[in-house]
A and B are shown apart, each in its own frame.
Chain A
């Protein structure tokens, strides 16, 4: 019970000036007491923990992986409570999801870690929970988190069963050769059918049904059993404190006051304040200022030892210094660097420009800081005649792009212009001049403005993905039609039980970028799920389409489209723009063009009357408020020629409207 006593004492000191009077064998449950309620995070403690109490054998590093909404964050909250890491209150919701956008959208974007202390059968364990994001866009983050783990808890909803992301996550863990603990969650729900889910798991993943643990994370049923399984089934990390220091940087965050905080997993040796360390990637030398564990807030410790997971602050100030996947070692004791990670491959590119060019430098520094916390975003400088100086950013997917934009707004108060997203097309050049200019024959096009003319190209190529869809069988017909509309080719179809089907399709990536997921959700009443993986390039008949407002091109809406879909897309965009642009004092021609040829046109008529009928004493205050809001809104409008367009209109017109 040494752990209980030690941790208890730390808490007791907060509460009482006489720690010596506190018995050293208090049960762990003490932490659900009122003191804990006032101090929800144990990081408020002042005493540093001696991490040498946790030798490699008593350490388990694991992640929870699950389809979105299957209860990953709830289970994490419960594990944190049971182990006394956080107080048990009604308010623990998505404790590990610290970002405003995560809480608002109920998703995890940024992986967080927490060290849990747990005593089982007389042994004190250090359980490091490394959270993973729960959306297809972020599968790169998932595999990064898994690299610091030896096992995973695979959570499946007892009602919804296996979903597309369950499949994807399972294979990520399986390929990384991690121990897998299947957990069936939400057994308290009325429609829960754990037997059926166990059979699905057996059929798809070849895991015997009796290995599944049935739990309700919400009500805390069998959660303790999960911890026992973590200890039993997941092997301790394979490494030695006696070896030289070898630390993997698996995540990093930027703190305005303390600089870069790197999350590290120690694959050998130990680390403490004062150590001189070197980055294998940059070869730069640093002195360690602070090490500690995450509980889930940073809690300094004297040292970290092999097998442990924690954080490090070492005076890294530049955004580029804490490369994710980098290996750190002791000065003059170089080690073979860890394999690191494939860099995240951006699937979606969009131009980003400051709404006001005078904001360029502020936006630049916001981007730098945000990309340090989200290194999967790629940044290239870009400029445009209409939009000024800006960047072309690469994202993992559209949700990733929206989340990034939302974080810029919420955390950095930045207002930006975002262009239509495009996927990385390729062109095989035939023109000798262009070949010479680019210095190569095959180029990647991430900006429609750089789309080479057909005459200079022997073949265009588009990226494809292999999509997995899991759906109740009644939606199959509609889903197949949707996939066909997206130029997809069916590759596989498998009944995972009597009612559910798993479909595999090869999709052109651009067809699913903007709103495929939303469309799929809406036509299946939310029941179908989707995930995808990279599937290389295929030849495609591509062309560039522009949208003009009164003859002026809308740079945000320039896009590369498949020839078969150009007319339909152009027509649809013009129609939607007509609805999205407010009437103005003059008529507006909305045109879609390919080269000089107009392929679609809509006309937005001028306002002929726009004046409120009644404005007397009592109406004035309300009237002025509205007018001032309109005046403010006007300043934020994007002007194309003299046409004023609300800033969010373009992204709206790109999204499929499910009611049409």
Chain B
């Protein structure tokens, strides 16, 4: 759902703020593209559905229901399959949420972002901390154990104390899944311009590191498993859908600017492709209407590129890249064969950033925070 009511100061996502959305037309296109791409992939069974991007909670439950029906019509959608909807606290009245639940949604991810009104204003959010609290409580009532919240840290001017207090408050409010994102100053956003222009301070590197370590420690102490760089879950409430990205499974992207990774078996393909749908909603709709889908770009991924993705994504998780997953993409050359030999990976293991053992290759607790410094070396070794 590429539409938003207003532009947040930090967001560089492909989104559109328009006065009126022809929802019936968008819905029809979503349904049609879903059918086309599912047929093309010849996927039999769907493990999860995620309504994300823009503000999906602005769509009507009817639209959500229509897409889910299309999915169920084209492939098997088991009753227990995870169906997540991204929601903004400003469009999550209990009544609306009940509507989404009736449409088939069974998990909610709420963009709380902060529990401080001043921070929320800085981020250009249209809700207050109290509204966010209300939204989370309402959601937990309807989706107990399946409500996730997003929080941002490393805001310009945010202190370590302020972050620690926010975390305390969030822990009091949250359900069993929390995503904590360090704010990325994306080029072209209002916030990035303010920081580079000097009107807002850039957060110091060391403070960001402290905030991250504090958050990890607090959440783990509260019984959460730190299962991905920015994601925490307890009682097994991991996001099935997001795990499938990090495990390099197949996924189909539907809607303007959506990305997919799958083998188009429907047209006789047997190699994994990276696909991107047309960015601009009106152009995308026209394409879907005329040829059934709005795929703008498709790139066949070479075996090496696939392995690079398996590595870069898998190492973001606490399970890492398992031998099984690696073998799936590289039947010839095992993980040990590539990374067990003398070279970068071994050096990184000796320095305590990486572990290669019987379950696979993964980051240590310390290494996870430095993953982006490890990956270029590992890619170099892989390319050899």
Contact = CB atoms under 8 A, between A and B. Distances in A.
Interface of A: 583-586, 605, 607-618, 620-621, 623-624, 627-628, 630-631, 633-635
Contacts of B313: 615, 620
Contacts of B259: 617-618, 620-621
Contacts of A634: 376-377, 380
Given A618-B253, A618-B257, 10 more contacts: A609-B212, A613-B183, A613-B229, A614-B181, A614-B230, A615-B313, A616-B245, A620-B309, A631-B383, A634-B376
Given A631-B380, A631-B383, A611 B253 contact: no
A203 B229 CA distance: 74
Q: Which of A586, A608, A617, A634 has the most CB of B within 10 A?
A: A617
B72 interface: no
A628 to B, nearest CB: 7
Interface in B280-302: none
A614 B351 CA distance: 26
Contacts of A611: 229, 316, 368-372
Given A609-B205, A634-B380, A617 B373 contact: no
B267 interface: no
A109 B206 CA distance: 48
Q: Which of A605, A611, A612, A634 has the most CB of B within 10 A?
A: A611
Contact of B379 (A607, A610, A627): A627
Given A608-B205, A611-B370, A614-B181, A633 B376 contact: yes
A609 B365 CA distance: 12
A104 to B, nearest CB: 27
B146 interface: no
A409 to B, nearest CB: 22
A624 B308 CA distance: 8
A628 B302 CA distance: 14
B208 interface: yes
A585 B313 CA distance: 20
Contacts, number: 104
26 contacts: A584-B373, A585-B353, A608-B369, A609-B205, A609-B212, A610-B372, A610-B373, A611-B316, A611-B369, A611-B371, A611-B372, A613-B229, A614-B181, A614-B230, A617-B259, A617-B261, A618-B258, A620-B245, A620-B261, A620-B309, A621-B259, A624-B308, A627-B312, A631-B379, A631-B383, A634-B377
A103 B180 CA distance: 51
Contacts of A623: 312
B320 interface: no
B304 to A, nearest CB: 10
A614 B373 contact: no
B251 interface: yes
Contacts of B52: 616
A614 B246 CA distance: 11
B42 interface: no
A635 B182 CA distance: 29
Contacts of B209: 608-609
Contacts of A628: 308, 379
B372 A585 contact: no
B253 A613 contact: no
B312 A607 contact: no
| Top 7 closest pairs, chain A to chain B, by CB | A608-B209, A609-B209, A631-B379, A630-B376, A613-B181, A611-B371, A631-B376
Contacts of A630: 375-376
B253 A607 contact: no
Contact of B370 (A607, A616, A621): A607
Q: Which of B276, B369, B373 has the most CB of A within 10 A?
A: B373
A42 B209 CA distance: 67
Contacts of B305: 624
B76 interface: no
Interface in B181-232: 181-184, 205-206, 208-209, 212-213, 229-230
Contacts of A608: 205-206, 209, 369-370
Contacts of B355: none
Interface in B17-53: 52-53
B242 interface: yes
A23 B260 CA distance: 71
Contacts of A583: 205
B70 interface: no
B274 interface: yes
Nearest to B183: A613
Given A609-B205, A609-B370, A616 B253 contact: no
Contact of B260 (A617, A627, A633): A617
A609 B208 contact: yes
Nearest to B348: A585
Interface in B234-255: 242, 245-246, 251, 253
Nearest to B344: A634
A631 B372 CA distance: 11
Contacts of B369: 608-611
A611 B258 CA distance: 23
A623 B246 CA distance: 13
Contacts of A618: 53, 253, 257-259
A583 B373 CA distance: 9
Contact of B371 (A610, A624, A635): A610
A426 to B, nearest CB: 45
Contacts of B53: 618
Nearest to A582: B373
A612 B205 contact: no
Contacts of B230: 613-614
Contacts of A633: 376
Contacts of A610: 369-373
Interface string B294-329: 000000000001001100110010000000000000
A207 to B, nearest CB: 53
A88 to B, nearest CB: 44
A630 B373 CA distance: 9
Contact of B184 (A613, A620, A631): A613
Contacts of A615: 229, 245-246, 313, 316
Contact of A617 (B208, B253, B308, B316): B253
Contacts of B376: 627, 630-631, 633-634
Nearest to A635: B380
Q: Which of B206, B260, B312 has the most CB of A within 10 A?
A: B312
B276 A621 contact: yes
A358 to B, nearest CB: 15
A193 to B, nearest CB: 40
Nearest to B299: A621
Nearest to A609: B209
Contact of B372 (A586, A612, A614, A624): A612
B297 to A, nearest CB: 9
Q: Which of B52, B53, B181, B379 has the most CB of A within 10 A?
A: B379
A613 B151 CA distance: 11
A641 to B, nearest CB: 13
Contacts of A612: 184, 229, 372
A612 B198 CA distance: 23
Nearest to A583: B205
Nearest to B206: A608
Contacts of B253: 617-618
B184 A585 contact: no
A628 B206 CA distance: 26
B369 to A, nearest CB: 5
A510 B242 CA distance: 60
A583 B370 CA distance: 11
Nearest to B382: A631
B56 to A, nearest CB: 14
A63 to B, nearest CB: 48
A611 B276 CA distance: 25
A611 B371 CA distance: 5
